[in-house]
Structure 1
Amino acid sequence: MNSITPVILSGGSGTRLWPLSREAHPKQFLPVIGAHSLLQATALRLRGLSAQAPIVVANESHRFLVAEQLQAIGVPAGALLLEPVGRNTAPAIAAAAFQALSADAEAVLLVMPSDHAITDVEGFQAAVVQALPAAEGGAVVTFGIVPEAPETGFGYIKAKAGEGVRGIERFVEKPDIATAEAYVASGDYFWNSGMFLFKARVYLDELAKTHPLMVELAETAVAKAQRDADFIRLDKDAFSAMASDSIDYAVMEKTRAGFVLPIRVGWSDVGSWQALWQVAEQDGDGNAHHGDVLALDCRNTLAMGEKRLLALLGLDDIVVVDTDDAVLVAHKDRVQEVKDIVARLKAEQRPQATWHRKVFRPWGNYDSVDAGARFQVKRIVVKPGAALSLQMHHHRAEHWIVVSGTARVTCDDKVFMLSENQSTYIPLGSVHRLENPGNIPLELIEVQSGGYLGEDDIVRFEDVYGRSPDTQSP
């Protein structure tokens, strides 16, 4: 029996869980169910399986989030492949397949999205073990979820008659409610989970039958990849030249090697606030609340708050999500349309589509706590041993006040230390750097003043994280 090489796909943007999920910090990095993020829960799900360290395929802009979250749970990536652009699941898995084959010519891939939830981990692991012989024999196995309700938000798989791993008769698109009810009643249809088990070489061979150029470009993208610290940057020209396509369309709906294993493992794609409400812990009236929530005469509500008290009165089937810079109030029947709000925000170039008020960087984070004409106030946290880039601003000066910890400050030709309650002034145009030489987080308040305070007013001279001069690069 071969060892399994997990492939965790972490390229999604999670627009349906806005405002908690943002483009720069999507849902897979959020602890929406339990103490761990969805990404961390996916990686921890592998413990107990005979598996190699996972290959993670991620958006380049999320690289530090992925690495930090996996490090926090003691599950380092075997390889962290960075996509220069999004090209859907078929190219991502192809790149992962070539990466796996470079270490093991008989590699069996367990492909898992990073943003799904599974409550029965032991049941999931047992299903993988059950499907492994079929995958080793050349089958392309997908895991079908036994439907609990006539869900219209999922695609379905119709299985051939049989037990255990069985043939696939056809894939069907998201149905209307009447069709979904008929699917569930028949017992022959299963939700398409997006999880797969197959040999890397088999997948590439099946993909090559319909998309030979995609296979060729994926091989080139891996062969010409550049290593950057713990990251593998897939070749931009080759990867960008690939067509954007899902594994379902590119392989599963066309292959004769496709099989499905129906499973009941408490699975959810956490694809909407409605889906999150369904898997969240509820009280006797069907309310699922997180944070400081006071609800009177409410039923079947979902309320999530970060800091403020949320007071709900006389509400049924309502979702309320409160963040520092945006509040969502929606009926549960309309939450699939949250993506339309995000599209509107992007069209209007509003930052709430992409960024939280708290922005994470490889060195720590900053929180924009106040702003007005010609000033902005930030709370900055620098991790122990971390340093911001050596940089300069054309349009703003900065005042730094240390709240806790110790700061090493470079300002032009001076280098000096600041401790709690001490401060300094960084004049406009000065070359400067902030470092934390201590063993505890450095917290400080930064007051910016000037005619332009945009995040793109930066020139980087040195940066230990290999970022471009544009500070929007995380």
Structure 2
Amino acid sequence: MAASNIMPVLLAGGNGSRLWPLSRTLFPKQFIRLTGDSTMLQQTLGRTVGLSSLPPAVVCNEEHRFIVAEQARQSDIDLEMVMLEPFGRNTAPAVAMVAMQQREKGCDPVLLVLPSDHLIGDSERFTELVKIGEGVAEQGKLVTFGVVPTGPETGFGYIEAGQNLSENASAFNVARFVEKPDTERAQQFVDSGNFYWNSGMFMFRASTYLNELEKARPDIYEACEQAVSNLTQDNDFVRVPADIFERCPDESIDYAVMEKTTHAAVVPFDAGWNDLGSWSAMWDVEEKDDNGNVAIGDVVVRDCNNSYVRADSRLVATIGMDDVVVVETKDAVLVVNKKLVQNVKQVVADIKNKQRTEHHAHVKVYRPWGDYECIDEGHRFQVKRITVKPGEKLSLQMHYHRAEHWIVVKGTAIVECNGKEQLLTENQSTFIPIGATHRLTNPGRLPLELVEVQSGGYVGEDDIVRFEDTYGRS
């Protein structure tokens, strides 16, 4: 397929609730290696290579900006931009702002809108279907890719195909969109051979989408137009102003545009799609043993059938269990019947309502300079393992309520404390008093690893005052 005037737009929002405890608010499933050796975002980025002469754009939450940038860098893929939403307003505004930003640059590409957390089994077929979608979009249509159903699934909306738009039945006008049906109605849809699952993947000319959005939802259009007029550039990121964007309605492309336009088209999609929207979906796509079990990590399974068992940090053994999901992480364990995995979202809500933190972040937290992991904590102390990437530095900062002891276990550190610098190598340490202005830098070519012991009256992450920051957080 020759490179085309297609601009991939990857939607990388999401709050990480359906695949908890592996997925969290600060590290949702699109950034995790769920299947294969790369993350879902990286797999989606990889599928866009060669599709277009235009680099992809990514729309994500502000909290995820450095994860997106780092995973694109690891994949050696240049991005057109990373647009940062201060909070989610669903897909219609996200895509509208990208389209308007391109319009301001005098461009009108065909936008290929892709969720960044879906599995596509057949990349070659995906490319073929995108080519079909591009041709239909060039005719002024707004294309949705409808997944050819494999069964009476009640968790998806459906699309009914109307008039044939091609000789080989590769595209159709949309007759109607149907909300998630019950099992009996879903079976009728599948039996008819004329209905498709709504995948959330779209393709349309940027100007076509904006024209239809302005007609159907002028309130969304106007709010996005005001936001785009006030975008700010922050290093490699484009920031959406919170005070304007908060007035924008929360609406999906489906509701805002596709169900109202008379120009909707559907391309049947048969490239091995799965939205990995639950732990039962994860069981569906993984390789199984003779008893139908999926075992990932340090797992021992005995006398179990059709179960999914995943261990992240320690040995997990299961005996005599059928049709269950067991997922272990360092700070949480989930055990649920496969038929009830949709209720995981309610459990996450319960955890949040109890003002716990296990829904929000992992024990290991990723930062633009590296990561840290809490390995012990108690009354008036906390111990962390910190890794700083080569050439990176933390912000110049201070704490009102805690002192810190740093012990270097690997690599070399430059420590600045109250204006004085010292060089630390392996097995050396330093002390940062309460109220001291300090900064940590890795000047070497290898990762810097150190143990940090915090002590004081309060050791929360919000006890920090930043004076200077390479990553725009001060």
What is the TM-score when the length of structure 1 is the normalising length?
0.97
Q: What is the rounded CA distance, in whole Å, between the counterparts of 1:324 and 1:13 in structure 2?
A: 20
Partner secondary structure for residue 15 of structure 1: coil
Once the two structures are overlaid, the 10-residue window that deviates more, 91-100 or 251-260, is 91-100
Give, as a single letter, the amino acid of the residue that structure 2 aligns with 1:261: V
Partner secondary structure for residue 50 of structure 1: coil
CA deviation digits over 1:210-239, x for unaligned, max 9?
211321221222221100000000222332
Give, as a single letter, the amino acid of the residue that structure 2 aligns with 1:341: V
Q: What is the rounded CA distance, in whole Å, between the counterparts of 2:172 and 2:401 in structure 1?
A: 65
Aligned to 2:197: 191
Once the two structures are overlaid, the 10-residue window that deviates more, 375-384 or 298-307, is 298-307
CA deviation digits over 1:295-321, x for unaligned, max 9?
111111111111211111111111010
Please tell me whether the aligned partners of residues 4 and 51 of structure 2 are also in contact (alpha carbons under 8 angstroms): no
Once the two structures are overlaid, the 10-residue window that deviates more, 294-303 or 160-169, is 160-169
Closer, same or farther: CA 125–409 of 1 in aligned 2, 3 Å: same
Give, as a single letter, the amino acid of the residue that structure 1 aligns with 2:128: A
Please tell me whether the aligned partners of residues 53 and 78 of structure 1 are also in contact (alpha carbons under 8 angstroms): yes
Structure 1, unaligned runs of 5 or more: 469-474
Q: What is the rounded CA distance, in whole Å, between the counterparts of 1:334 and 1:415 in structure 2?
A: 56
Aligned to 2:82: 80
Aligned to 2:96: 94
Q: What is the rounded CA distance, in whole Å, between the counterparts of 1:268 and 1:287 in structure 2?
A: 19
Please tell me whether the aligned partners of residues 101 and 107 of structure 1 are also in contact (alpha carbons under 8 angstroms): no
Q: What is the rounded CA distance, in whole Å, between the counterparts of 1:187 and 1:58 in structure 2?
A: 36
Q: What is the rounded CA distance, in whole Å, between the counterparts of 2:323 and 2:268 in structure 1?
A: 31
Q: How many residues align?
A: 468
Following superposition, the deviation at residue 178 of structure 1 comes to 1.4
Aligned to 2:307: 301
Please tell me whether the aligned partners of residues 146 and 191 of structure 1 are also in contact (alpha carbons under 8 angstroms): yes
Following superposition, the deviation at residue 404 of structure 1 comes to 0.2
Following superposition, the deviation at residue 262 of structure 1 comes to 0.7
Aligned to 2:115: 113
Following superposition, the deviation at residue 119 of structure 1 comes to 0.7
Please tell me whether the aligned partners of residues 412 and 448 of structure 2 are also in contact (alpha carbons under 8 angstroms): yes
Task: List aligned pairs for 1:11-410, cutoff 5 A.
Answer: 11-103=13-105, 105-160=107-162, 162=164, 163-410=169-416
Following superposition, the deviation at residue 48 of structure 1 comes to 3.1
Following superposition, the deviation at residue 412 of structure 1 comes to 1.0
**2:467 is aligned with 1:461:** yes
Aligned to 2:9: 7
Aligned to 1:440: 446
Aligned to 1:471: none
Q: What is the rounded CA distance, in whole Å, between the counterparts of 1:103 and 1:296 in structure 2?
A: 61
Please tell me whether the aligned partners of residues 4 and 53 of structure 2 are also in contact (alpha carbons under 8 angstroms): no
Give, as a single letter, the amino acid of the residue that structure 1 aligns with 2:6: I
Moved over 4 A (4+): none
Q: What is the rounded CA distance, in whole Å, between the counterparts of 2:265 and 2:46 in structure 1?
A: 26
**2:411 is aligned with 1:412:** no
Following superposition, the deviation at residue 103 of structure 1 comes to 3.9
Q: What is the rounded CA distance, in whole Å, between the counterparts of 1:4 and 1:10 in structure 2?
A: 19
Please tell me whether the aligned partners of residues 389 and 460 of structure 1 are also in contact (alpha carbons under 8 angstroms): yes
Please tell me whether the aligned partners of residues 146 and 190 of structure 1 are also in contact (alpha carbons under 8 angstroms): yes
Please tell me whether the aligned partners of residues 388 and 442 of structure 2 are also in contact (alpha carbons under 8 angstroms): yes
Please tell me whether the aligned partners of residues 216 and 261 of structure 2 are also in contact (alpha carbons under 8 angstroms): no
Q: What is the rounded CA distance, in whole Å, between the counterparts of 2:86 and 2:333 in structure 1?
A: 32
Quick one: percent identity of the two aligned structures?
54
CA deviation digits over 1:333-389, x for unaligned, max 9?
011110001111111111111010001111111000001111111000011111111
Q: What is the rounded CA distance, in whole Å, between the counterparts of 1:177 and 1:400 in structure 2?
A: 59
Partner secondary structure for residue 33 of structure 1: coil
Closer, same or farther: CA 450–173 of 1 in aligned 2, 3 Å: same
Once the two structures are overlaid, the 10-residue window that deviates more, 177-186 or 270-279, is 177-186
Q: What is the rounded CA distance, in whole Å, between the counterparts of 1:51 and 1:171 in structure 2?
A: 33
Q: What is the rounded CA distance, in whole Å, between the counterparts of 2:104 and 2:307 in structure 1?
A: 50
CA deviation digits over 1:412-433, x for unaligned, max 9?
1321000000011111111111
Following superposition, the deviation at residue 105 of structure 1 comes to 3.3
Once the two structures are overlaid, the 10-residue window that deviates more, 378-387 or 104-113, is 104-113
Following superposition, the deviation at residue 260 of structure 1 comes to 0.3
Partner secondary structure for residue 30 of structure 2: helix
CA deviation digits over 1:223-272, x for unaligned, max 9?
21100000000222332211010000000111000010112111011111
Q: What is the rounded CA distance, in whole Å, between the counterparts of 2:472 and 2:4 in structure 1?
A: 37
Partner secondary structure for residue 222 of structure 2: helix
Q: CA RMSD in A?
A: 1.2
What is the TM-score when the length of structure 2 is the normalising length?
0.97
Q: What is the rounded CA distance, in whole Å, between the counterparts of 1:14 and 1:267 in structure 2?
A: 20
Please tell me whether the aligned partners of residues 2 and 107 of structure 1 are also in contact (alpha carbons under 8 angstroms): no
Please tell me whether the aligned partners of residues 351 and 358 of structure 2 are also in contact (alpha carbons under 8 angstroms): yes
Give, as a single letter, the amino acid of the residue that structure 1 aligns with 2:464: I
Following superposition, the deviation at residue 26 of structure 1 comes to 0.4
Following superposition, the deviation at residue 182 of structure 1 comes to 1.4
Q: What is the rounded CA distance, in whole Å, between the counterparts of 2:321 and 2:72 in structure 1?
A: 39
Following superposition, the deviation at residue 51 of structure 1 comes to 4.3
Q: What is the rounded CA distance, in whole Å, between the counterparts of 2:142 and 2:445 in structure 1?
A: 49
